Chain A
Amino acid sequence: MSDGSLWVLVAGTCAGCYLLKIIGYVLPPRVLDRPAVRRAVSLLPVALLAALVVVELLAAGSSYDIDAARIAGFAAGAVAVWRRAPFLVVIVLAAVVAAALRVVP
C-alpha cells in the first residue's frame, strides 16, 4: 500500500471516529434515540468483532490459512477471556503460547 493511501487511511479514521463521537453531543437526542437505531448500533459491534475474530484467526488475504501455533495461542487467550482475566493476561498468554509453539520444532 502506498504512503499516500496510508495517510488517507489515517486521516479518514481519525476524522470519522471523532465525528461519530461529537455528533452524539451536538445532535438533538431524538435523532439518534430511537429503538431501532439503538438496537442496530449496539449490535453492530457484535457482528463486526465476531467477523474480525474469525478473519484474523483463519484468513491470509483471500484464502484460508490454518496455523496450529496461532490457533493454540488464540485458544489460550480465549480461555483467559472466558475466565474474565484482564486484557494484559489475555494478550500475554496468546503471544507466549503461539511463540513457544513456534520455537519447539
Chain B
Amino acid sequence: MTSPSDQHRTVVRDSLAVGIAVGAYGFAFGAASVAAGLSVLQTCLLSLLAFTGGSQFAVVGVIAGGGSVAAALGSGWLLGSRNALYAMRLAPLLRPRRGRRLLAALGTIDESTAMAVAQREEPLGRTAFWWTFAGVFVFWNLFTFVGAAGAGALGDPRRFGLDAVVPAAFLALLAPRLRDGRVAWRVGAAGALIAVILIPLTPPGVPVLASTAALLLGTERRPP
C-alpha cells in the first residue's frame, strides 16, 4: 500500500525524468535551427514561446531545405493542431482559470498530456501535467540554448552528423503514433510516398504539406 504522498512523489519524479529525456532533444533542435540560418535568439524564442518540438523541427527543417516561409508555417501549424485536442482533453481535468489558463495552454504538449491522462486519480493527473510541463520546459529551453550556441562553435553541422539526427528525430516522434494500428501505418506510408515522389517536382516544403492528402486513406469506409 503506497501512501498518497508516496504516489505524489513518484509522479513528480517520473515527470521530471520525462523532462530531462525530452530536453536533451532540445540540443538537436538548437543545432538544427542555427544550421538552418536562424539566430540563437530566434531559436531560443521558438523554444520558449512555440514550445512544441515537432512543429519547431518542422519549421526549421522546411527552411533548411530551401522552403518558403509560408510552407514552413503551414507545416508547423498543421503539426501543432493536435495540441488543440490535447487542450480539450485537459481542460476538464485542470480547470484552469485566467492566468493559469494562459500558462496551461503553453504547457499543453505531447508529454504533459500523456503523463496527465495516464494517472488514475485526478489530483495526480494535475500534478503530472504541471511537473512534466515544468521539467520539459526547463530542460528543453536550456538545451536549445546550448545546442544553438554550440552549433556555431562546432562549425559544419554535417561533420557531427546533424543531418542524420534530424530525420531520426522525426522518426522518434512518429513511432509512438504508428503503434496505434493499421490505419496509422497506411497513412504514414502514403504520406512518405507522396513526399518522396514530389521532392523533384515541387518547390521545397510542398512535399511535406502535400503529404496530408494521405489522410484520405484514414477515413473509415462504412457499407452504404
| Residue on A nearest B190 in the bound complex, by CB | A47
Interface segment among B6-14, B62-70, B114-122, B124-132: the answer is: B62-70
Cβ 8 A contact of B83, one of A17, A29, A38, A51: A17
Interface size on A, residues (CB 8 A): 76
On chain B, the residues within 8 Å of A104 by CB distance are none
On chain A, the residues within 8 Å of B104 by CB distance are 25
Q: How large is the interface on B (under 10, 10 to 19, 20 to 34, 35 or more residues)?
A: 35 or more
Which residue, A18, A53, A61, A71, has most C-beta atoms of chain B within 10 A?
Answer: A53
Bound complex: CA A10 to CA B51 (Å): 12
On chain B, the residues within 8 Å of A72 by CB distance are 164
Q: Is the CB of B171 within 8 A of A78?
A: yes
Chain B residues at the A interface, C-beta cutoff of 8 Å: 21-22, 24-25, 27-28, 37-39, 42, 45-46, 49-52, 54-59, 61, 63, 65-66, 69, 72-73, 75-91, 96, 101-102, 104-106, 108, 158-175, 177-178, 180, 183-184, 187-192, 194-196, 199-204, 207-208, 210-215, 218-220
Chain A residues at the B interface, C-beta cutoff of 8 Å: 1, 5-10, 12-14, 16-18, 20-25, 27, 29, 32-33, 38-64, 67, 69-74, 76-78, 80-82, 86-88, 90-91, 93-99, 102
Apart from A20-B84, A55-B61, A102-B159, what 9 extra A-B contacts exist at CB < 8 Å?
A: A8-B69, A21-B108, A24-B88, A43-B215, A56-B65, A56-B170, A62-B202, A62-B203, A63-B200
